[in-house]
Amino acid sequence: MENKSIAQLAADLRLRTYSSVELTRHYLERIERLDSRLNSFISVAGEAALASAERADLALKSGDVGPLTGIPIAHKDIFCTQGFKTSCGSRMLDDFIAPYDATLVERLAAAGAVMLGKTNMDEFAMGSSNETSFYGPVTNPWDQTRVPGGSSGGSAAAVAARLCPAATGTDTGGSIRQPASLCGVTGIKPTYGRCSRWGMIAFASSLDQAGVLARSAADAAFLLDEMAGFDPRDSTSADVPVPDYVDALDDDIAGLRIGLPKEYFGAGLDSGVAASIHDAISEYERLGARISEISLPNSPLSVPVYYVVAPAECSSNLARYDGVRYGYRCGHPADLEDLYKRSRAEGFGAEVQRRIMIGTYVLSAGYYDAYYLKAQKVRQLIADDFRRAFEQVDVIMGPTTPTTAFPLGAKTDDPVAMYLNDIYTIAANLAGLPAISVPVEPAEGLPVGLQIVGDYFQEARLLNLAHRYQHVTHWHQAAPAGFE
């Protein structure tokens, strides 16, 4: 069962080859047996998942169901789930039970999907390796001495290890695409505003976007069909028509113009990764696409811009966690000031504290113009680069990450080296553009991801391009040893 696509699982459920309860129990057993090696789940739904599966089986008997009815999935533990722990990978929210469902959770549940549990993540989505979680690091199923990427590393590892067919994630600077690349799965970050952020715990509000991690573009399309769309509860939600993503998967790509940014193929890119990316681009040429070199001259500034804007927004968003209203509270505070200080010092991990301090600094009266305002101006220049590029080409391709998965602990003492792992992904978030990471030929036995960036609200094109590539290659079907 675990090696079947969502379409195949849906067909089996309709034919009553097995029930949703049997399918859900199969995945719950795999999680119990295998996840001790990965730590990809913070919590498992268990009885609640089986109860949802029973309801799905009743719906399946009626015959009037959608493609996700009875399909088990997992949610990144950044999405509020009513009556179920939502921790954001932090001690600060270790005992927080959300009183409502996030819009995304609500929509997938209405589509009949069964929630298996909540996946591990970097604390408050701050990290590139899934090593900052209060619940311990997640390991990469391809090599458990290496990181899975972050912050959606739990979702990526769970999908790669066949512990769930698909999972939700969030992407602030590459947190879906980067772990998708390092774990060998497909991960899509939609256009900013395409999927509701209501009920998604905020890190950097102008950058955060919900998305999907799945084994294939086709599987991702099934989830995105249900997730995308306007939500009046979210002030950043875009009221733009949503196409049928599944229906567009097989569109012809002959004549499509693909741009390769020269800035993405220079120093810092591992030679093995580069070779795999060029082979994948050659496959697109064989499929009829036209390749040309382009320039995104301001893209090298993406990392410094991001690490001004994102911490600034995080310092504002995380101010609500003060030990008073909800979340972690220190023991026996001497006074209100002591309550604030110790609750935040004990409740937040080192990386979150670092970003709050940076954000507070760049927003301070003496430095706002020098740092935050200037970063926002450069952010616009980065978006303008993409606008000009899309006048010449239809999509932009390049590596998702500069290297394959690195060893656990290799970059924890060097934050700048860790931040540079997102050098190719951050620009799409700063511009609000959709982007997808697609598994291509591994380098030295470890997964490599091809990133495809599209113009605004062109998710269907990205899924179509990924699907056409996956139709003629098999890299997305590979399973890590011990998890087949």
Which of these, 462, 471, 474, lies nearest to 287 by C-alpha position? 471
For the question of residue 40 being annotated catalytic, the response is no
Report whether 162 contacts 30 (CB < 8 A).
yes
CA torsion 73-78-81-85 (nearest 10°) is 100
Catalytic (active site) residue 175 = yes
At which residue do the structure tokens 């701050």 appear? 126
**Contact, 223 vs 68, CB < 8 A?**
yes
d(CA 444, CA 59): 46
Which residue among the candidates 151, 299, 302, 437 is catalytic per the annotation?
A: 151
Could you give phi then psi for residue 474, rounded to 5 degrees?
A: -125, 5
Cis omega (within 30 of 0) for bond into 235: no
Tokens 């972050």 correspond to: 150
- One-letter amino acid for residue 435 of the chain: A
Indicate which residue of 52, 76, 216, 437 is catalytic: 76
Q: How far apart are CA 346 and CA 208, in angstroms?
A: 25
Which is the catalytic residue, given 19, 175, 237, 437? 175
**3-class SS string, the chain:** CCCCCHHHHHHHHHCCCCCHHHHHHHHHHHHHHHHHHCCCEEEECCHHHHHHHHHHHHHHHHCCCCCCCCCEEEEECCECECCEECCCCCHHHCCCECCCCCHHHHHHHHCCCEEEEEECCCHHHCCCCCCCCCCCCCCECCECCECCCCCCHHHHHHHHCCCCCEEEEEECCCCCHHHHHHHCCEEEECCCCCECCCCECCCCCCCCEEEEEECCHHHHHHHHHHHECCCCCCCCCCCCCCCCCCCCCCCCCCCCEEEEEHHHHCCCCCHHHHHHHHHHHHHHHHCCCEEEEECCCCHHHHHHHHHHHHHHHHHHHHHHCCCCCCCCCCCCCCCHHHHHHHHHHHHCCHHHHHHHHHHHHHHCCCCHHHHHHHHHHHHHHHHHHHHHHCCCCCEEEEECCCCCCCECCCCCCCHHHHHHHHCCCHHHHHHCCCEEEEEEEEECCEEEEEEEEECCCCHHHHHHHHHHHHHHCCHHHCCCCCCC
Residue reference for tokens 């011990």:
482
Q: Is 85 a catalytic residue?
A: no
So which residues are the catalytic ones? 76, 151, 175
